[in-house]
């Protein structure tokens, strides 16, 4: 499943990100985030602040963003806690990237519902387009990882690409999504079969209809 994060902390990483600071716009957002919590409880803002920092790194690198060690240290200073407290949060959630990623971070769910629904075909499609688990493609467009449940089991198999879920996938639909992204074409997130939200694949149902369609055992127990 998901690989252990490899966190670069070389001299060039510190040279590039050692002076990280909020942009003017993000400083306003950071102040708003910290304003949600009482004094002394700023650590509760670690997740939204890490997300904000990752998005700023992404904007500066034209990627989905990641969290260099100096950036995590910056967030720790912002909320007044040791670096390790924020590091623990950053490495727990797969929404945080601990190493550089591509413009499109493709996270394939490999948990049971998606696996039974055909996540192997999704991974095969990714492989066909040159994506390798744990790596970024040479053109810098795609990074592929396999992750645990992403919470869209009713629409399995699915992938999360940056902030969007793409659901009800198979081999061909996955190829179509990846090709559209690579060509800069718009792709509509959600179900790729036209299903509305997480409705049953056969359409809406109700309990009365289910009783009518199934054998009625009530008379046998009278």
Q: What is the DSSP string of 60-74?
A: HHTSS----HHHHHH
Q: Compute the residue count for the chain.
A: 222
Looking at the chain, the domain(s) classified CATH 3.40.30.10 span 104-191
- State the average pLDDT over residues 154-169: 95
pLDDT recorded at residue 198: 78
pLDDT recorded at residue 130: 95
The H or E element spanning position 8 is none
CA 135 vs. chain centroid, Å, equals 16
Provide the CATH topology of domain 104-191: Glutaredoxin (3.40.30)
Q: What is the pLDDT of residues 9-48, one digit of tens each?
A: 788 899 999 999 999 999 999 999 999 999 989 999 999 9
Q: Which distant-in-sequence residues (6+ apart) come within 8 Å of 189 by Cβ?
A: 164, 165, 166
Instruction: Give dist(CA 100, CA 4) in Å, integer.
Output: 14
Of residues 106 and 1, more confidently modeled: 106
pLDDT at 206 over 80: no
């Amino acid at each position: 499943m998901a690989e252990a994060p490899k966190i670069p902390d070389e001299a060039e990483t510190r040279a590039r990100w050692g002076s990280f600071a909020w942009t003017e716009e993000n400083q306003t957002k950071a102040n708003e985030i910290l304003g949600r919590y009482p004094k002394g409880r700023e650590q509760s803002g670690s997740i939204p602040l890490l997300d904000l920092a990752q998005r700023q790194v992404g904007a500066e690198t034209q990627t989905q963003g990641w969290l260099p060690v100096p950036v995590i240290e910056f967030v720790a200073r912002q909320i007044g806690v040791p670096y390790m407290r924020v590091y623990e949060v950053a490495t727990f959630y797969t929404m945080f990237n601990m190493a550089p990623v591509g413009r499109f971070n493709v996270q394939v769910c490999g948990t049971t519902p998606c696996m039974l629904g055909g996540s192997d075909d999704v991974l095969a499609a990714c492989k066909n387009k040159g994506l390798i688990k744990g790596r970024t493609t040479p053109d810098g467009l795609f990074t592929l990882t396999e992750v645990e449940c992403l919470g869209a089991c009713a629409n399995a198999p699915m992938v999360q690409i940056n902030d969007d879920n793409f659901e009800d996938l198979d081999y061909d639909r996955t190829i179509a999504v990846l090709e559209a992204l690579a060509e800069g074409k718009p792709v509509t997130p959600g179900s790729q079969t036209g299903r509305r939200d997480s409705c049953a694949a056969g359409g809406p149902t109700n309990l009365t209809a289910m009783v009518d369609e199934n054998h009625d055992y009530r008379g046998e127990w009278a």
